[in-house]
Structure 1
Amino acid sequence: MDNLQSSDLKSILHSKRANMFYLEYCRVMQKDGRVLYLTESLGKQSKENLYYNIPIANTTVILLGNGTSITQAAMRMLAQAGVLVGFSGGGGTPLYMANDVEQAIEWFTPQSEYRPTEYLHGWMQFWFDDQKRLAAAKTLQQKRIEFLKKVWTKDKDLKTEGFSFDDTAIQNALDSFYTRTEQAKKQSDLLLTEAQLTKVLYKYAANNTNTAEFKRQHVSTDLANDFLNHGNYLAYGLAASCLWVLGIPHGFAVMHGKTRRGALVFDVADLIKDAIVLPWAFICGKENATEQEFRQQILQAFTDHKALDYMFDTVKAIALSNHDEINNKEANKDA
């Protein structure tokens, strides 16, 4: 059989790709036209090496954790397939600098001169205007709540665990959130409103799962915090992939500030974190799940609720609304 080439693989839109990998203690390599990862057998008497295929045409992100290496040939094929590759600490979350995407995870983005231009053009057409940038930030916050409602009203497992979008505590918090978001005059107002809502959601999740005296800590202190860190970095991987595919640089944030590195990744990841990562971090913490079990649960939830599709749809809508507005004005002038 002839060796496969990356160009021979059927292209799958990034928003429709099903796979996201976290690998540790293995070597990623190219073999016979495929990308594989190599591990040593766990058997005490066995010295057998085990090869596992990575379906790169249907993969969005690969995170390489502790004890990993990757060959140049494998990176070439991953780049050709448009897979985002990142190095991280154990479990996908370093024990240090767990807040900064570009330092906590070093992202390697595939090189491509043929990504679409209209999304970047549309983003730039509003980004330098303070009021339009604030309006985009408000849109992201509204879409964040829409996704929360969509997931919490649909997911039967979350309902079983007591997570209800219609709960009085949630609705009271959202009433205040909507009012303060609408009245916000600058990004710092939105960040404060966001922080207050998240604090309510943490308390709600802690009460549902009987997590005593929970306090959010980015340095590892308990399972709930560990899983929140882990799940957030998986969300950052999806957000970074979304922005790379659309050709929008990570520095052009609308919510987290002009000078914070990678801030647009945080903006986009926030669309799905509260709805999926937050509740499952507490649930899996209550059940003493392993990191692998938690990761499988989160990735399945991302797939079930089409989290990556939602990111793409939201970012494209914000960019194209401004791009189309400018184009219409120019067309009217020409007429």
Structure 2
Amino acid sequence: MDQLSDLKAILHSKRANLYYLEHCRVMQKDGRVLYLTEAKNENQYWNIPIANTTVIMLGTGTSITQAAMRMLASAGVLVGFCGGGGTPLFMGCEIEWMTPQSEYRPTEYVQGWLSFWFDESKRLNVAKEFQQQRIQFIESVWKKDRDLQEHGFYTDDLDISKTLNGFAKKIPAQTKVGDLLLAEAVTTKQLYKIAATRTQIKDFNRNPDEGDLANDFLNHGNYLAYGLAATTLWVLGIPHGFAVMHGKTRRGALVFDVADLIKDAIVLPHAFICAKEKMTEQEFRQQILQKFTEHKALDFMFNQVKNAALSSFNEGQIT
């Protein structure tokens, strides 16, 4: 038990690493999890600091041993198999993770979540709060991120402030989740236009299958955000099926809801900036992971989900 306790010493909300691996073999060796890359003349081993890792995404040409999975599970690391470049996660476009088995996660969060989830009006109120927090996170990140400001992303610019303030004013008036989703989609489309204008990318159209750099980077960054969201929900013990925004019957829908808290603030602008600068996929991935850490995206996700669950659990209602 001492070894397992040591592995879990770092809270998930404070962990720094999210890995995408390809063309390698993940294994356990001498009490550590390693990945092996095969070269012509020699094999190289690289250590994975599992106690400080949230998610491992295994891409093209990867395999993993049972012993490695056992250690990853003991450290509470989620594992997902995906296509080249991190997208898509297999099982279609759904969010499916191999999650560690644990009967000792907290109970108050799932109990709090379920105490409001079956009431449509309370569920809508949580969805609205998520959207308000999403806007506030965009404003917070864009006000202090110098890389974004160097490319013209200022929250007090007319088009940006008009988009964010307009959405914020619409949120309280929505009476159905479908209407809220529509307003959110319109806002995100406007943010795409703003980002495309700032980075001088002409004729951009959001299409995951388009194949241009901006769309590919959006796909890739979004799946990284899904990994953090899945980790958040697993640690708090809330099943992915109890969504507040996306379809109630869609597998993994709550993962999308939680990932949406941070996607527009971090993934969206950097996908366009990195596309403009013609970065490689690896360079883009490093940029996004650095920004997740810099702006404490995982902390933010944890806080929002915990607040939504506990406000209901402690007060018996969502206000």
TM-score bucket (shorter structure): over 0.9
Residue identity opposite 1:233 in structure 2: Y
Report the structure number with the largest CA radius of gyration: 1
Aligned counterparts, 1:40-189, within 5 A: 40-41=38-39, 46-94=40-88, 100-102=93-95, 106-189=96-179
Instruction: State the match for 2:19 in structure 1.
Output: 21
Please state how far the C-alpha of 1:47 moved relative to its aligned partner.
1.9
Aligned counterparts, 1:20-39, within 5 A: 20-39=18-37
Cα distance in 1, alignment partners of residues 68 and 44 from structure 2: 17
Q: Which of 153, 166, 189 lines up with 1:199 in the alignment? A: 189
Please state how far the C-alpha of 1:176 moved relative to its aligned partner.
2.2
Q: Is the 8 A contact 2:81 2:89 kept in 1?
A: no
Residue identity opposite 1:142 in structure 2: Q
Residue 7 to residue 320, structure 1, CA distance change in 2 (3 Å): closer
SS at match of 1:216: coil
**Cα offsets for 1:177-196 (capped at 9, x unmatched):** 12221110010011000011
Residue identity opposite 1:35 in structure 2: V
Instruction: State the match for 1:273 in structure 2.
Output: 263
Structure 1, unmatched stretches of 5+, are: 328-335
Residue 153 to residue 256, structure 1, CA distance change in 2 (3 Å): same
Please state how far the C-alpha of 1:5 moved relative to its aligned partner.
4.6
Runs of 4+ in 1 over 3 A off after TM superposition: 4-10, 95-98
Q: Is the 8 A contact 1:180 1:193 kept in 2?
A: yes
Cα distance in 2, alignment partners of residues 97 and 77 from structure 1: 24
Please state how far the C-alpha of 1:171 moved relative to its aligned partner.
1.5
Instruction: State the match for 1:217 in structure 2.
Output: 207
SS at match of 2:33: strand
Q: Is the 8 A contact 1:187 1:257 kept in 2?
A: no
TM-score, with length taken from structure 2 = 0.96
Task: Give percent identity, aligned residues only.
Answer: 70
Q: Is the 8 A contact 2:8 2:75 kept in 1?
A: no
Q: Is the 8 A contact 2:81 2:90 kept in 1?
A: no
Cα distance in 1, alignment partners of residues 237 and 180 from structure 2: 26
Q: Is the 8 A contact 2:110 2:238 kept in 1?
A: yes
Please state how far the C-alpha of 1:260 moved relative to its aligned partner.
1.2
Please state how far the C-alpha of 1:220 moved relative to its aligned partner.
3.8
- What is the total number of aligned residue pairs between the two structures? 316
Instruction: State the match for 2:239 in structure 1.
Output: 249
Please state how far the C-alpha of 1:259 moved relative to its aligned partner.
1.0
